[in-house]
Amino acid sequence: MVIKTKQVIRVGIGDMNIASSPDTIRTSGLGSCVGIILYDDVKKTAGLAHIMLPDSTLAKKQGMKRAKYADTAIYDLVHALKDIGISTYRLKAKIAGGAQMFQLSSSNDMMRIGPRNIEAVKSILLSFRIPIMAEDVGGTTGRTIEFDPASCELHIRSVNKREKVI
């Protein structure tokens, strides 16, 4: 029998990936970005997307990474999970991020990107009928998150705060 060693799958900014127990999946330094975890608690498999922008129609050019946007990232993640035999109706979600790192009083809409990302993620998940089981969003601090598909726990680390588990 082969004993599989536990690995941490890392997801970069504007990227996505999938992990199954005993592996965990992690993304670092979420600021205004949002980390979206879609998981199946029976098959103990989870996908994670680290999105930067709410909507792919914001793209001013074609052919960019789809995992950067909330809409295309969630769509692709749902389909990638379907491809490995996980039906969308089994999926549950946990989300974290969407902070406002600097309190700019600027009229620049891009500075409100954190809250806009959160809104977009929630409405897209709703349209897929994927329930959000837990969230840690907003605020003014960055987050590094790691999801364990075995326990379905999401560990959240922030500067000067105790690790949080949701």
17 forms part of the interface with another protein (CB under 8 A): no
Active site residue 33: yes
Q: State which of positions 29-68 bind another protein (CB under 8 A).
A: 29-33, 52-53, 58-65, 68
Q: Which is nearer to another protein, 5 or 108 (CB)?
A: 108
**Closest to 158 in 3D by CA, of 141, 139, 146:** 141
**Closest to 124 in 3D by CA, of 50, 48, 54:** 54
Q: State which of positions 98-137 bind another protein (CB under 8 A).
A: 99, 101-104, 106, 108, 110, 113
Separation of alpha carbons 88 and 83, rounded Å: 11
Query: Which residues neighbour 61 within 8 Å (Cβ) at sequence distance 6 or greater?
Result: none
Note the Cα 41 to chain centre separation in Å: 16
Separation of alpha carbons 61 and 3, rounded Å: 46
Minimum Å distance from CB 142 to another protein?
2
Select which of 11, 19, 25, 33 is catalytic.
33
Note the Cα 163 to chain centre separation in Å: 18
144 forms part of the interface with another protein (CB under 8 A): yes
Q: Which residues are catalytic?
A: 33
| Site of interaction with another protein (CB under 8 A) | 12-15, 28-33, 52-53, 58-65, 68, 99, 101-104, 106, 108, 110, 113, 141-144, 158-160
